[in-house]
Structure 1
Amino acid sequence: MRNCLLTCLLLALFLSACDRSTSPPPPLDRQPPTANASDLLDQLDDVTIPPRDLADLTERLTGSGPIPRTAVTTPTSYKVGDIATFWYKDQDAGQNVTVEAQLRYRSAELYMWFETGMRVRDDELTEAVNFLEAQLLPTHRAFFGEENRPGIDGDPRVHILHLEEIGGIAAAYFNSADGYVQAVNPYSNEREILYISMKSRDLGSDEYFGSVAQEMQHLIHQNTDPNEAAWLNEGMSELSLHLNGLEPNREADYAAHTDIQLTNLTYDPDLVSAHYAAAFLFTNYFREQYGEAATQALNRDPGDGLQGFDHLLAALGTGLSADDFFKNWLVANYLVSIERPTGVWGYETVDVPALELAEDHRRFPAEVSGSVAQYGADFIRLRGDEPLRLNFTGSQRVPLLATSAHSGSAFWSTLPADKSDMTLTGRFDLTPLTSATLSFWIWFDIEEG
């Protein structure tokens, strides 16, 4: 958990911290952080948040009694031609609906299901499974680890459900709740399963393999580090394409939107591709700097998001923090974008197109004011023949949350996290009482979806 404002000053080349919007920037907070605030930030950085267990939560919160972690003791023996009913999430309707699908291929690794009525050419299916079994699955398991095998259904195979369409902007998805029995999630398919939309794509195309690669990485990550920060999880999924020779090709989206928060993935249709690109570039930059073994260790580290980077950078003896690494990454993006990479500030395997500049100044003096997202950057180009003096003033403090304590100076917060279970417990002797009441004030800001 961190929320410090990072500003990268590169006097010869660029400066971050401007806004292209017409709205006035927020007022500056010139007061330095207190010692208590700095200590609190350090404590939050060190917190390792436990992952949630939906079965355990169901047992504790509903009083259901013990819930099995597997759906069957003997796996179902499916054969080609079988028809089964599946749940899936209709993204347009926002509802769980059922669909019938036919098994068209079965091997020691895969079940390939297709929505009934879909036309599937045998030669395309053969070509697709050959790539999945010979290239994609071995590459994923060697680099990222293994999914839960044999898993909830007692079967080591991965199910891939091909649908006419899913709705919305989704091309594919993985649902971690399928790893729980229907007593926990009534819409669970109780399988290790991926959902692939075949709308506007061909079986065996790069787009198809890219979708399978992304969701397969999520399936594995659910087993190796189930509450990894969503942005880094997506960065690893984008990296999985790169490792299989299936390039994400989203770098131009990041170049046009550098002022997005790396560490806060949003699904705004206009920005989601830029978020994926930023996460991929950041993750791949780490892989290129420190190697595949370090990236594999990062993928398994119990620390979430930047905390994992802090852990690995320390273990490698780099002398860098995650914040330092982030600054180097910004420099690398700019230098690669102007085709002048040097030393650690560059990439070996990807290119970054020209970044969209927030400002481009040739005449001086010049004054610029604005705001920049946490862990984002705006780039300003300063061009001239004479040396320049740069004065920068920025806020030294930012709030962790958009609220303050109702009374006193402290409150308990769950902190932003994905697929996690945070608890607050205390012991109280109520034996002298006939009744007891707990009164508390609550504030919440919960994302939709």
Structure 2
Amino acid sequence: MEIDIESYLEEMRENNPDAFLKLMQEAEMIDMFNSTGIQQRMFYAYNFVSKKFYTVNATLRREGALTRIWVEDASDQYMTETLLDNLLANLESFSGANSIDPTKGIVEIDTMLFGQPPNYDGDGIVDFLVLDIKDSYSPDENNEFIAGYFSPTDQTNQAMSNKMDLMYLDSYPGFFDGQNYRTEPVLSTTAHEFQHLIHYNYDQNEELWINEGLSQLAGTYCGYGIDFPYLYLENPNQSLTVWEQKLQDYSRANLWTLYCAEQLGLEFIKNLTQNPSNGIASFNESLQFMGSPASIADVFRSWTLANLINDRSVDPRYGYIATEASGLRASVTRLVYQYPETVTGIVKGLGVEYHRFRGRDSLQFNFAGTIPQNYWLVSRNNLYSIASILQNSYHAPFFSDDSTYILLLYSTVQDMAYRYDSYASFSLRYFDMVYDDGQTDVTVRFDSGNLPAVAANRFIVPENNLDLESVRFWSASSDYNALIRVLSNNGSQLPGTDLISPLNIMPESRNNWVEIPLPEKLSGLRENEIIYVAVEINEANKAIGYDNTLASGRSYLKLSGNNWSLLSNYSFSTNNEPASGLWMIRASFSGLIQSDSISDQSVEEDLIVLNNFPNPFVSQKAGKNGNGTHFSFQIINPGYLRIAVYDILGRKVHEMSRQVTPEGRPGSSVYNAIFWDGYGENGPLAAGIYIYRLTFLDAISGKRIHSPYRKLVILN
């Protein structure tokens, strides 16, 4: 947080000279007072509501080897001795359980990561002022508050500067929320703001996406978690370098800087902090200083894959190391499941979109105009094939729901518009049943006396003959066992018996959606049939998401020793307000239908194709036993035949064309045959599975006819 003190003083000098003179006199008095006492002093602080400075009296309450803690006299009521001891210990002696080094405090970890603070006052000590920061917090109307800040004004000799290396921490509701004494909300901010103080010592003009990202990393590496990762992962088409002071900016910067620290090392992080250049130039110069030939574009490309895959066993570049990032994955930006469909959009500079394709049989999409930067991912059972599409038209044979197909679109330069037309033989009826608004209003915990606690949402099947394929719920906790249950309707509009065997799952990350594909889909559901998706909690103080919405859904709760009841019959223990909202539990239903039209891929009786023979085969010239293979077919009229061969990633590896005339009529035993030796442009193809298709252009009717895709195997 930076306050423009020069503009503030100049405006006061011109518009209110009497107030300016009084302020200067007051500053002299404060300097005189502070020079006479060590245990007490007066501080300037900033009122974020009135946008004015004010003074507070504070007393020195704790002093360590590296830090001093001052407490505003009016905040004594919020700061217990235990709380102050805990704060000093977290600053100097230990940090969070998932810290990069739990035996060190915030100050030592941040200086290890980023460098030294300024030491403006020359005493080698960092001061912390605990006060009730004047913000817009209201326990009844506004739960948001400023947990702490660093003011560059204090690093100057201007009026209203405290002239010291100082950070401000919030007493209420930071350390005391009206009911509970706590440190966690403030400690993460302390690590965050202390990085800003250090960064000020090296580079006072760094762009916010880097400076704030490093501060977010400070909170994570001091053991206080990752802030709101889902805010970026659910909407990843955000420019990495654009900063709008929104929560998703902090979410994005946190994940990006954590990834850079894990992939490029802590020495890179320190160089980035201390590099005097700004923005992308600073990032690339820091890479060069480390001897890396990479650029920010290279790191960004790998990061887009890491956010989707997040599994270092696939590739060390494609996942996170930090425990807090385990299980985090980007959401699908666009689900393409009805064909034909034209998809358009704009990928932002240093942004990314993830398009998933669902359906069956061969998939084709054709780019119009410039092909955006991309990756094409096909995965099954945690095995991935990753390639880039370089041609405007792409075919994916053997398209099915057994595998996952993702088109990743990104840009390492400016915003990029795209358009493509997609086709498949079978479309998907798909319904993602969502009653919440995606924003978690309350995280609900259950004490041990209420366990097991089962939270459920009701879902009404939207169409006939659908399958329940997956469920999701929002978990505020991690590393606990929960049961996912799908229940029938008992006839009294309450959850009944299990329709599937309960699924035991363990959320890997907190404050994130947990998606659970059903091992076997619940099939054959009828339109308007009622089912319930439930999350059973068996461990105390584990929390799930609740949305205070007026949507049309219906939620239920079953506590230990009680029957099922509407959630609205319960009240929250903190304020006795009725729980009239909904659990953040979702369900996805699907079913296949034949597409209305496909991309010129219909199979015609005018072209009859047999399987190639022999199959498998060895390339003719690859060895003395090489035999090649024959493609056999029947046609009615003369024309032109093209045979295209693709690898399993859909890349064309060979194509040949022939002018052909019919040698046998359909129904006869006489077929045309074309021989292929198993060679591509660069010699014999490698052993493996390939896909081929015949395309015939009828010279009489002008009709273009495609055969189905078929499989061949080369044994070189």
TM-score, normalization: structure 1?
Answer: 0.64
Number of equivalences: 320
| Residues in 1 aligned to 2:290 and 2:194: alpha-carbon distance in whole angstroms | 28
Number of the residue aligned with 1:196: 169
Match of 2:122 among 143, 154, 158: 154
- Alpha-carbon contact 1:103-1:112 (below 8 Å) kept: yes
Does residue 88 of the first structure (1) align with residue 45 of the second (2)? yes
Percent of aligned pairs with the same amino acid:
25
Q: Given the alignment, which residue of 133, 149, 170 partners 1:165?
A: 133
Q: Of the candidates 236, 247, 271, which is equivalent to residue 258 of structure 1?
A: 236
- Cα offset, 1:176, TM superposition: 1.1
Tell me: CA distance 1:390–1:330, structure 2 relative to 1, closer, same or farther (3 Å). Answer: farther
Once residues 223 and 345 of structure 1 are traced to their aligned partners in structure 2, the CA distance between those partners, rounded to angstroms, is 34
CA distance in 2, matches of 1:277, 1:340: 25
Residues 333 and 130 from structure 1, CA distance in 2 versus in 1: closer, same or farther, beyond 3 angstroms? same
Q: For 2:369 and 2:191, how far apart are their aligned partners in 1?
A: 45
Per the alignment, do residues 325 and 114 of structure 1 end up closer, same or farther by CA in structure 2, a change over 3 Å counting? same
8 Å CA contact retained: 1:161, 1:194: yes
Structure-2 residue corresponding to 1:130: 89
- The residue number in structure 2 matching 1:308 is 282
Q: Distance in 1 between matches of 2:333 and 2:46?
A: 40
Q: Which has the higher helix share?
A: 1
- Distance of aligned partners of 1:245 and 1:285 in 2 relative to their CA distance in 1, 3 Å threshold: same
What is the Cα deviation at residue 159 of structure 1? 1.6
Q: Which amino acid aligns with 2:147?
A: A
Look up the match of 2:348: 373
Contact 1:333 1:352 in 2 (8 A): no
Q: Report the residue type matching 1:365 in the other structure.
A: P
- The structure number with the bigger radius of gyration is 2
Task: Quote the Cα distance in structure 1 between the aligned partners of 2:65 and 2:312.
Answer: 47
> Closer, same or farther in 2 for the Cα pair 1:339/1:312, shift >3 Å?
closer
Residue by residue, what CA displacement relative to the aligned partner does 1:399-431 show, whole Å, maximum 9, x if unpaired? 9xxxxxxxxxxxxxxxxxxxxxxxxxxxxxxxx
Deviation at 1:319, TM superposition (A): 3.2
Which position in structure 2 is the counterpart of 1:404?
Answer: none
Report the alpha carbon displacement of residue 93 of structure 1 after superposing the two structures with TM.
Answer: 2.1
Which of these residues, 154, 157, 165, is aligned with residue 181 of structure 1? 157
Shift of 1:77: 7.3
Aligned equivalents of 2:247, 2:242: Cα separation in 1: 13
Match of 1:355, SS state, is coil
Question: Cα 1:341–1:284, aligned 2, differ >3 Å: closer, same or farther?
Answer: farther
1:251–1:352 CA contact under 8 A, matched in 2: no
Residue pair 1:307, 1:322 contacting (<8 A) in 2 also: no
Matched ranges for 1:21-420 at <5 A: 76=35, 78-80=37-39, 82=40, 84-118=41-75, 119=77, 120-134=79-93, 135-149=105-119, 151=120, 153-168=121-136, 169-182=145-158, 186-202=159-175, 205-267=183-245, 272-336=246-310, 342-349=315-322, 350-351=325-326, 353-385=328-360, 386-391=362-367, 393=369
Q: Secondary structure at the match of 1:297?
A: helix
C-alpha deviation, 1:76, in angstroms: 4.7
1:323: how far off?
1.6
Distance 2:334 2:85 in 1: 52
Partners of 1:341 and 1:347 within 8 A in 2: no
Q: Which runs of 5+ in 1 are unaligned?
A: 1-53, 59-70, 400-449
Could you tell me how far 1:275 is from its partner in structure 2? 0.7
Q: CA deviation at 1:339?
A: 9.8
Whole-angstrom CA distance in 1 between matches of 2:148 and 2:134: 8
Would the aligned equivalents of 2:213 and 2:250 in 1 still touch at CA under 8 Å?
Answer: yes
Residue 354 of structure 1 and its aligned partner are, at CA, apart by 4.5
One-letter identity of the residue aligned with 1:131: N
Higher normalized strand content (fraction of residues): 2
Pick closer, same or farther for the CA change 1:274–1:154 going to 2, 3 Å.
same
Residue 180 (structure 1) shift:
0.5
Structure with larger RCO (C-alpha < 8 A, sep 6+):
1
Does the CA-based 8 Å contact 1:127-1:204 persist in structure 2?
no
Distance 1:180 1:222, change over 3 A: same
TM-score (norm 2): 0.41
Alpha-carbon distance between aligned partners in 2 of 1:140 and 1:78, rounded to the nearest angstrom: 30
Q: Distance in 2 between matches of 1:90 and 1:340?
A: 50
Residues 224 and 363 of structure 1: CA distance in aligned 2, closer, same or farther (over 3 Å): same
Q: Do the aligned partners of residues 393 and 285 (structure 1) sit closer, same or farther apart at CA in structure 2, a change above 3 Å counting?
A: farther
CA distance in structure 1 between the aligned counterparts of 2:153 and 2:356, rounded to whole angstroms: 47
* CA 1:259–1:381: 2 relative to 1, 3 Å: same
Give the distance between the partners of 2:46 and 2:314, measured in 1 at CA: 44
Deviation at 1:247, TM superposition (A): 0.9
The amino acid across from 1:145 in the alignment is G
Mapped contact 1:92–1:167 kept (Cα < 8 A): yes
| Alpha-carbon contact 2:147-2:185 (below 8 Å) kept | no
Structure 2 residue runs without a partner (length 5+): 10-29, 94-104, 137-144, 176-180, 373-410, 416-716
Relative to structure 1, the CA distance from residue 85 to residue 315 in structure 2 (aligned partners, 3 Å threshold; closer, same or farther) is: closer
Instruction: Quote the offset at 1:387 in angstroms.
Output: 4.2
Q: 1:109 to 1:343 in 2, by over 3 A?
A: closer
- Contact preservation (8 Å) 1:332, 1:341: no
Q: Is the 8 A contact 1:358 1:379 kept in 2?
A: yes
Paired with 2:219 and 2:314, the residues of 1 have a C-alpha distance of 24
How far did residue 160 of structure 1 move? Answer: 0.9
* Other structure's SS at 2:174 match: coil
What RMSD, in angstroms, separates the aligned Cα atoms of the two structures? 3.1
